[in-house]
Amino acid sequence: MIRALIFDFDGLIFDSETPDFISWQETYAYFGVELPRDVWNAQIGTVAFNPYLHLEELVGRPLDRQMVWAKRKARDNELLALQTILPGVENYLAEARQLGLKIGLASSSDHGWVDDHLQRLGLFEQFAVICCADDVGGVGKPDPAVYRAAIAALEIAPHEGLALEDSPNGVTAAKAAGLWCTAVPNTMTRDLNLDHADYRLNALTDMPLSQLITEVTNGIN
């Protein structure tokens, strides 16, 4: 029986991934090099990739990282300001409450990022539990640590939780933690391999949460 719904954040609740990629893509172009989409796709949902180091390797020299950060971040903030809550998120939150489910969030980002954006979007109070990378020593997905922390905080057994993820790294983390997992890819991740998820939706608007739970678990109580 599903007792909790656990959301990913970036790319699932709001699209921070497209602005992040575009701002880095433009930064690379400024230095006359290209940021390959496959390189970027491999790091979505984790914290392992260092774009500064990768950019310096391509350029062949050290860069003023503070300058790069400031220029890139200003552009990222412009694009982020245009982003709103992704379709279906608010309905799923409302239905989860109606179903009596505990609601959690597990992210590879840190609390400074996640909490600030949840406050801006008016969603912070919707989550009983918010677990981020800085809660587990900075470890990001595909390591399952952040999901295990969420499971413990929600006081459920792993098989009693359903995770919603948009990336292969996120799905890997959720499954390694023992959770059911539905993949809900966004513009940046829809062409990636998400076959290891238990189920896939094109968007949360595809079906009600109650139906999804039945589909994912095959009606197991």
**Cα–Cα distance measured from residue 92 to residue 130, given in angstroms and rounded to the nearest whole number:** 17
Catalytic residue, from 10, 15, 20, 143: name it: 10
**Cα–Cα distance measured from residue 147 to residue 25, given in angstroms and rounded to the nearest whole number:** 30
Burial (CB count within 10 angstroms: exposed 0-12, middle 13-18, buried 19+), residue 128: middle
CB 104 within 8 A of CB 131: yes
Three-state SS for 165?
Answer: strand
Handedness of CA 171, 37, 27, 82 (dihedral sign): negative
- ∠ Cα 154 158 161 (to 5°): 65
Farthest CA pair distance, the chain: 58
β-sheet bridge partners, residue 197:
none
Question: Can 166 be counted among the known catalytic residues?
Answer: no
Catalytic residue, from 8, 15, 20, 198: name it: 8
Q: Considering only CA atoms, which of 166, 133, 150, 10 is closest in space to residue 80? A: 10
Question: Can 20 be counted among the known catalytic residues?
Answer: no
**Cα–Cα distance measured from residue 21 to residue 205, given in angstroms and rounded to the nearest whole number:** 25
Catalytic residues: 8, 10
